[in-house]
Amino acid sequence: MKRSIVCRCEDISEEDVIQAIEEGYTDIEELRKKLRIGMGPCQGRVCIQLVTRILERKTGRKISKIQLPTVRPPLVPVSLGTLASENDEK
């Protein structure tokens, strides 16, 4: 079966996104919570642009009108050990 992968972290295809939109999940935050796009290690760098385009195509809403998800820190994964070592008292 041919699948166009939209989100590599969560293994979500274009068909999955279209199906969710057709079920009524037409807000990018709703799609994110439904499909977990943007919640993997890349934090949306790969999928969000693609999903935004699919949303534009399916709903007719202009890309500029589609609200992007909030950017969550840290921007790159950081280990708990690194975060815990800040200002360590010896």
Partner 1 sequence: MKSKADVVIIGGGVNGCSLAYRLVKKGLDVVVVEKKYLSSGATGACGAGIRQQWSTRENAQLAIQSVKIFERLRKELGQDIEFRQGGYLIAVHDEKEMEQAEKNVTMQRSLGLKVDILKPDEITGVVSILDVKGMKAIGATFCPTDGHANPFRTTFAYADAARKLGAEINTHITVINVKTAKKAIRAVVTDQGTIQTDVVVNAAGIDSKAIAEMVKVKLPLTPFRKEILATERLQPLFEAMVISFKDGIYFSQQKEGQIVGGIPIPEEKKGYKTMPTFAFLEHMAKTLTRYAPVLKHVNVLRHWTGFYDVTPDARPILGEVREVKGFIQCSGFSGHGFMISPMVSLLLTEFIAEQKISDVLESLSLDRFKGKNIEKELSVVG
Footprint on this chain of partner 1 (rule: CB under 8 A) = 23-25, 27, 29-30, 33-34, 36, 39-41, 43, 70, 72-74, 77-84, 86-87
For partner 1, which is the closer residue by CB, 2 or 80? 80
CB of 53 to partner 1, least distance (A): 20
Rg (CA), the chain: 16
For partner 1, which is the closer residue by CB, 2 or 77? 77
CB of 2 to partner 1, least distance (A): 26
CB of 15 to partner 1, least distance (A): 19
Q: What b/e string do you get for 6-22 counting C-beta neighbours within 10 Å, with b at 16 or more?
A: bbebbebbbebbeebbe
Residue 5 β-bridge partners: 13
CA distance 14 to 2: 11
